[in-house]
């Protein structure tokens, strides 16, 4: 965490105890049906985490979208974190990022053939999606919904960052946990994300032992795959002039994500040097930030230089008139995907597809 634990450790720990008591009480209210979880007639898949910050929810959600959309009519629903609007909104490819949020806009642009919506109230959001009979949605993927217990998903997927194991962490604000590790009992599937490409068999067994899985839970391991950089400002820069396999560049790296460490490691593969401007997660860039980006880029003393950012950051950089300040910079974003280790992709795909097939509404089977 950014807070100085040496200086404020005792105070933060006391706050964590208070926070933990509140979360425990809330979960008990749901466990004893004092607060109720709504079930729906369509199969609901929830993707979420216990740890604050990036565990890879969006690329995992997009993977499941691509897996299902050829056979089923798919919708995704999230709260649209950090958007400057409220209520139910259906996302279009040309929606404003400030209205719908960066992650829903990314999902829609990468999957324009599905329904993508935002609503801070997931129950109302699902009701709105299902009320459109013309779409006849057959399954809904909830993004970042592990703590949203007002909806009862049929399949709950919990993501855990390999680099931030639950057993080594503490509750907020002393640590980064939204709730205690034992809350993983609500998950049907647990995925350890951001794995190294290779780990020794004994290391895998240690991971499995530390998780203390329940018999009904399935465990998977995924890695992040970085794709080729993509031009941000089309018509301003020609991709033909740049090769990321043959050449190296002085790079201005712009990030507004929770943990850029793995991205930095990847970018080093085609960099002579990296100048990193780091912003808060989901940060909305202001005029002073664009000026800082431009000045920093111009001060890199090499003609063989480029700007690199993430796909999520790209939408927030591009979706404002201020982007004209940097549109003449050779700027690229790096898309990411996930892949499964240990030949588990087919096993995971089968579990997801069979769940939706078995629970698809009867009325849609014949449509």
Domain ranges of the chain: 5-225+341-365, 230-334
Contact status, residue 157 vs residue 189, Cβ threshold 8 Å:
yes
Find the distance separating the first CA and the last CA of the chain, reported in whole Å. Answer: 50
Position with higher pLDDT, 245 vs 88: 88
Residue 309 reports pLDDT greater than 60: yes
Is 1.10.10 the CATH number for 230-334? no
Q: How many angstroms separate the CA atoms of 33 and 154, rounded? A: 17
The band of 227, judged by pLDDT with boundaries at 50, 70 and 90, is very high
- Residue 365 above 70 pLDDT? no
Mean pLDDT of 13-30: 97
pLDDT single digits (tens) 92-116? 999 999 999 999 999 999 999 999 9
pLDDT in tens, 150-175: 999 999 999 999 999 998 899 999 99
Q: What is the pLDDT of residue 9?
A: 87
Q: What is the pLDDT of residue 5?
A: 65
pTM of model > 0.85 = yes
Residue 56, pLDDT above cutoff 50: yes
5-225+341-365 and 230-334 in the same fold: yes
pLDDT attached to residue 251 = 98
The neighbour count for residue 270, using CB atoms within 10 Å, is 18
Q: Which residues pair with 1 in a beta bridge?
A: none
Please report which helix (H) or strand (E) contains residue 363, including its range: helix 362-365
Q: How many CB atoms lie within 10 A of CB 253?
A: 21
Classify domain 5-225+341-365 at the CATH class level.
alpha beta
Q: What is the mean pLDDT of residues 218-238?
A: 93
| Mean pLDDT, range 251-275, rounded to an integer | 96
DSSP state of 301: -
Backbone angle region of 42, left / alpha / beta, with phi > 0 → left and psi within -120 to 50 → alpha: beta
DSSP 3-state assignment of 192? Answer: strand
Predicted pLDDT of residue 364: 53
> How confident is the model at residue 210, as a pLDDT?
93
């Amino acid at each position: 965490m950014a807070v100085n634990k040496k200086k404020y450790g005792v105070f933060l720990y006391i706050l964590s105890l208070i926070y933990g008591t509140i979360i425990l009480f809330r979960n008990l209210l749901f466990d004893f049906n004092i607060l109720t979880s709504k079930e729906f007639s369509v199969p609901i898949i929830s993707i979420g985490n216990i740890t604050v910050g990036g565990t890879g929810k969006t690329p995992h959600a997009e993977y499941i979208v691509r897996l299902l959309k050829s056979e089923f009519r798919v919708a995704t629903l999230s709260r649209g974190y950090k958007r400057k609007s409220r209520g139910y909104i259906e996302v279009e490819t040309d929606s404003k990022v400030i209205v719908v949020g960066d992650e829903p806009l990314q999902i829609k642009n990468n999957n324009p053939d599905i329904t993508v919506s935002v609503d801070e109230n997931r129950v109302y959001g699902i009701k709105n999606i299902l009320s459109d009979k013309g779409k006849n949605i057959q399954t809904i993927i909830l993004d970042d919904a592990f703590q949203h217990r007002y909806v009862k998903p049929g399949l709950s997927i919990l993501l855990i960052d390999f680099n931030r194991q639950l057993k080594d962490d503490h509750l907020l604000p002393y640590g980064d946990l939204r709730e205690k590790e034992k809350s993983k009992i609500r998950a049907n599937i647990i995925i350890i994300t951001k794995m190294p490409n290779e780990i020794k068999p004994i290391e895998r067994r240690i991971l499995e032992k530390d998780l203390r899985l329940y018999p009904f839970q399935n465990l998977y391991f995924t890695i992040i795959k970085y794709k080729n950089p993509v031009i941000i400002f089309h018509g301003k820069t020609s991709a033909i002039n740049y090769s990321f396999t043959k050449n190296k560049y002085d790079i201005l790296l712009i990030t507004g994500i929770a943990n850029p460490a793995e991205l930095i490691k990847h970018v080093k593969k085609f960099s002579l040097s990296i100048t990193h401007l780091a912003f808060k997660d989901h940060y909305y860039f202001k005029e002073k930030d664009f000026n800082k980006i431009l000045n920093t880029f111009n001060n890199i003393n090499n003609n063989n230089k480029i700007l690199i950012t993430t796909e999520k950051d790209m939408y927030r950089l591009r979706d404002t008139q201020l982007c004209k300040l940097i549109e003449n910079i050779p700027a690229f974003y790096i898309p990411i995907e996930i892949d499964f280790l240990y030949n588990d992709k087919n096993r995971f795909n089968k579990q997801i597809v069979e769940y939706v097939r078995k629970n698809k509404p009867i009325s849609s089977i014949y449509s």
